[in-house]
Chains A and B, each alone.
Chain A
């Protein structure tokens, strides 16, 4: 009943795109955010696994664009358009952005999960891509897999039931 597809894996500070019948997956999102952008009718999708919210504060000379929410999302959109997605049809689902540890001394750096969520939503909003569903925050890790054929995002968490958004 299932078409045979492969699973494209996206690492940390990485992104990739996929076309039906393949699916795309990233493992162990903690404070990182996984941003899925897809064109449901064209059955193509892309996934970015961002680590940090904002590239403007980096101290690196040459940056990895896939590492930051504000740079990875536009790159992901471009890559999707290249493989046939239509700009006006793009939608997004996001997951991650947990606070794995609560620290009493609340330096801003440590609230990285919520800041990653905000930066991702902000960038999607700027590009006018509606966010259809999200499973964010909390203090749990997530492994996510998106199927462009169904536009469903499967979320696995340790010691809890799998959910689909």
Chain B
């Protein structure tokens, strides 16, 4: 199964998935932060593994990523990716602690790591449940896995299954931005469907002409 011959309708369907998912995620994040959160129209791209890393600032850009492996009818990976600074702002906003630094490895930070995991859980959870409602498919997300490291080191985890069968990944990239007077926070939500899951997703939406 290859990605290269996706039809425009199929692209639109994937974009709509990103739209609905990120819309829900933005609402959840807005309630958490008690701030206005905007979302940017999602993009759907078929990219090489190298190009995928460039979507978030290059392979060795330091990022915070919360990874979910999603099991069920159509297995996929969801990543919520933030820059280090953005993750710090997020935790600072949630905990009202303006001195929090991610790179400072003391024990008090453990709690703040779990704050990040929980935010990721809520954001990605609302994304995935919207996806489930839209497609009428059953998705079971894993617990959140937090990684703070180079983008490529973390994101290749989502590529291991895909790379068995393809040299490309399909990325549904949604951005959510919160803005208040002091800080801007941007998060990328990456949805990486496994190749065999695409067919399931398209069938569930009544799109038949795949291959």
Contact with B along A103-133 (1 / 0, CB 8 A): 1000001101000000000000000000000
Please report whether the interface of chain B is mostly helix, strand, loop or mixed according to DSSP: mixed
Are A51 and B153 in contact, CB atoms less than 8 angstroms apart? Answer: no
Q: Is A94 interfacial (CB-CB < 8 Å)?
A: no
Q: How far is the CA of A29 from the CA of B60 in the complex (A)?
A: 8
Q: Is A159 interfacial (CB-CB < 8 Å)?
A: yes
Are B148 and A27 in contact, CB atoms less than 8 angstroms apart? Answer: no
Given contacts A12-B50, A101-B147, A159-B103, contact A142 B153 (CB under 8 A): yes
Are A28 and B147 in contact, CB atoms less than 8 angstroms apart? Answer: no
CB distance from A28 to the nearest CB of B (A): 3
Are B49 and A12 in contact, CB atoms less than 8 angstroms apart? Answer: yes
CB distance from B180 to the nearest CB of A (A): 28
Q: Is B149 interfacial (CB-CB < 8 Å)?
A: yes
Q: How far is the CA of A31 from the CA of B59 in the complex (A)?
A: 13
Q: Is A69 interfacial (CB-CB < 8 Å)?
A: no
Are A100 and B157 in contact, CB atoms less than 8 angstroms apart? Answer: yes
Are A59 and B154 in contact, CB atoms less than 8 angstroms apart? Answer: no
Q: Is A13 interfacial (CB-CB < 8 Å)?
A: yes
Q: How far is the CA of A11 from the CA of B60 in the complex (A)?
A: 11
From A60, A109, A110, A158, give the contact of B62 (CB < 8 A): A158
Report how many residues on chain B are interfacial, defined by Cβ distance under 8 Å: 31
Please report whether the interface of chain A is mostly helix, strand, loop or mixed according to DSSP: loop
From B148, B154, B163, give the contact of A52 (CB < 8 A): B163
Given contacts A28-B60, A31-B160, A109-B161, contact A100 B166 (CB under 8 A): no
Residues from chain A with Cβ under 8 Å of B53 in the complex? 12, 27-28
For B159, the closest partner residue in chain A by CB is A51
Question: Which A1-39 residues have C-beta < 8 A from chain B?
Answer: 11-14, 27-32
Q: How far is the CA of A158 from the CA of B148 in the complex (A)?
A: 9
Are A67 and B163 in contact, CB atoms less than 8 angstroms apart? Answer: yes
Residues from chain A with Cβ under 8 Å of B156 in the complex? 12, 28, 30-32, 51
Are A101 and B152 in contact, CB atoms less than 8 angstroms apart? Answer: no
CB distance from A72 to the nearest CB of B (A): 13
Contact with B along A46-70 (1 / 0, CB 8 A): 0000011000011110001001000
Q: Is A134 interfacial (CB-CB < 8 Å)?
A: no
Residues from chain B with Cβ under 8 Å of A30 in the complex? 149-150, 152-154, 156-157
Residues from chain A with Cβ under 8 Å of B110 in the complex? none
Q: Is A141 interfacial (CB-CB < 8 Å)?
A: yes
Q: How far is the CA of A72 from the CA of B109 in the complex (A)?
A: 41
Contact with A along B137-157 (1 / 0, CB 8 A): 000001001011111111011
Are A100 and B149 in contact, CB atoms less than 8 angstroms apart? Answer: yes
CB distance from A120 to the nearest CB of B (A): 16
CB distance from A161 to the nearest CB of B (A): 13
Given contacts A67-B163, A101-B157, contact A29 B49 (CB under 8 A): no
CB distance from B143 to the nearest CB of A (A): 9
Q: Is B181 interfacial (CB-CB < 8 Å)?
A: no
Contact with A along B4-16 (1 / 0, CB 8 A): 0000000000000
Q: Is A92 interfacial (CB-CB < 8 Å)?
A: no
A residues at B contact (CB < 8 Å)? 11-14, 27-32, 51-52, 57-60, 64, 67, 98, 100-103, 109-110, 112, 140-143, 156, 158-159
10 contacts between A and B (CB under 8 A): A11-B50, A27-B59, A29-B153, A30-B154, A31-B160, A101-B67, A103-B69, A141-B153, A141-B154, A142-B153
